[in-house]
């Protein structure tokens, strides 16, 4: 049954004790428990219950741009490009100011802690207060945000092949102390294929956005397309955002946001911040490899078979999803 208190209209159901115990063994920081949220049964830390109603009632402004993704799909890259495009190509500020300060993370659960339930959460408060135009990051799916969001502002959804997302997420969950995953990639893939990763299920997240892809206030981007022809995707962004930038200006954005540049800058690569307290030492960097299709080199034949079975059954269970991620 629902266990979310009177103030929150969104259902949040604790995980079955056996699964909870399994996750607590594998993730050093999931000791306070996880819940399945909403009809999509998204896996979130239990303390998210303090914030679900606030997310669902968040007041978006007409000039907001929301970058919505499943984690590790190219969020930071897209935020960086969109922030520069909507802020007069102010590369100097972009280079010198951490991206999280410029572009608030609405549902930064690590910061929206249960330490002080009386507050709304540091990043939620920041998202409420930053000046327009706001470039807001969220990993929440549409069903956990205000139903009118697309009538209120623009949303960019960035999708990435689930194999690459899985590998990238494995490294992130080892890197972030707030998760502290202790297993190897094969163990992570097992959880992934059982939809037991934070913010999952992947297919539900994707399917909810795919259903809205023709809405004029939604722009659908693929990580793979950005890698293949960034100028073309920047032109689509320019048109969607009505920023009116020239090709030369878009090329400047591409150069500023190149993988090498974003990896080399502490403003976008958290791993370069000296003694970053939230990161486990010795793990792969936050801006890591930026490749497409590399998952095939990381999965054994057995892992590939398991992954393929998950693609087939999982994608069919949720409705329509982008066909390019289910074929071969």
User: What's the closest the beta carbon of residue 7 comes to ligand A3P, in angstroms?
Assistant: 30
User: What's the closest the beta carbon of residue 2 comes to ligand A3P, in angstroms?
Assistant: 30
Q: What CA–CA distance (Å, rounded) separates 253 from 273?
A: 23
User: What's the closest the beta carbon of residue 128 comes to ligand A3P, in angstroms?
Assistant: 23
CB proximity list for 229: less than 8 A, separation 6 or greater: none
Nearer to ligand A3P, 164 or 195 (CB): 164
Q: Give, to the nearest 10 degrees, the angle between helix 301-317 and helix 162-175.
A: 110
Residue nearest to ligand A3P (CB): 290
Q: How wide is the angle at C-alpha 249 spanned by C-alphas 245 and 252, nearest 5°?
A: 145
Residue among 124, 136, 163, 160 at smallest CA distance from 68:
136
Nearer to ligand A3P, 143 or 258 (CB): 258
User: What's the closest the beta carbon of residue 67 comes to ligand A3P, in angstroms?
Assistant: 9
139 is catalytic: yes
Which of 47, 112, 139, 205 does the annotation list as catalytic?
139
Helix (H) or strand (E) holding 162, with range, is helix 162-175
Residue among 214, 243, 76 at smallest CA distance from 150:
214
Nearer to ligand A3P, 26 or 72 (CB): 72
Binding site for ligand A3P (CB under 6 A): 69, 71-77, 164, 168, 171, 257-259, 262, 287-290
User: What's the closest the beta carbon of residue 228 comes to ligand A3P, in angstroms?
Assistant: 11
Nearer to ligand A3P, 291 or 317 (CB): 291
Nearer to ligand A3P, 69 or 173 (CB): 69
Residue 216 burial (10 A CB sphere; 0-12, 13-18, 19+): exposed
Length of the chain: 328
DSSP character at residue 265: -
Whether 66 contacts 75, CB under 8 Å = no
Catalytic residue positions? Answer: 139
């Amino acid at each position: 049954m629902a266990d979310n208190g009177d103030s929150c209209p969104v259902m949040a159901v604790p995980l079955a004790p056996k699964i909870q115990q399994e996750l607590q063994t594998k993730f050093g920081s999931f000791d306070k428990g996880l819940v399945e949220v909403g009809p999509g049964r998204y896996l979130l830390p239990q303390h998210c219950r303090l914030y679900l109603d606030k997310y669902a009632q968040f007041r978006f402004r007409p000039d907001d741009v929301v970058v919505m993704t499943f984690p590790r799909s190219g969020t930071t890259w897209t935020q960086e490009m969109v922030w520069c495009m909507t802020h007069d190509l102010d590369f100097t500020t972009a280079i010198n100011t951490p991206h999280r300060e410029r572009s608030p993370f609405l549902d930064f659960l690590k910061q929206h802690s249960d330490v002080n339930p009386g507050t709304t959460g540091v990043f939620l408060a920041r998202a409420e207060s930053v000046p327009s135009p706001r470039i807001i990051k969220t990993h929440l799916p549409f069903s956990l945000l205000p139903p009118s969001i697309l009538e209120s502002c623009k949303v960019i959804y960035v999708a990435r092949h689930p194999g690459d997302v899985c590998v990238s997420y494995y490294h992130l969950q080892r890197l972030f102390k707030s998760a502290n995953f202790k297993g190897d990639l094969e163990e992570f893939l097992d959880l992934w294929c059982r939809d037991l990763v934070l913010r999952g299920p992947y297919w539900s997240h994707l399917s909810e956005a795919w259903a809205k892809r023709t809405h004029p206030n939604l722009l659908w981007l693929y990580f793979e397309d950005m890698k293949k022809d960034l100028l073309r995707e920047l032109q689509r962004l320019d048109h969607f955002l009505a920023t009116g930038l020239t090709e030369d200006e878009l090329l400047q954005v591409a150069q500023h946001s190149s993988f090498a540049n974003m990896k080399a800058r502490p403003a976008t690569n958290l791993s370069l911040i000296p003694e970053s307290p939230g990161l486990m030492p010795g793990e792969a960097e936050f801006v890591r490899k930026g490749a497409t299709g590399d998952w095939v080199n990381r999965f054994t034949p057995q892992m590939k078979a398991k992954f393929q079975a998950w693609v087939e059954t999982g994608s069919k269970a949720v409705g329509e999803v982008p066909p390019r991620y289910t074929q071969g």
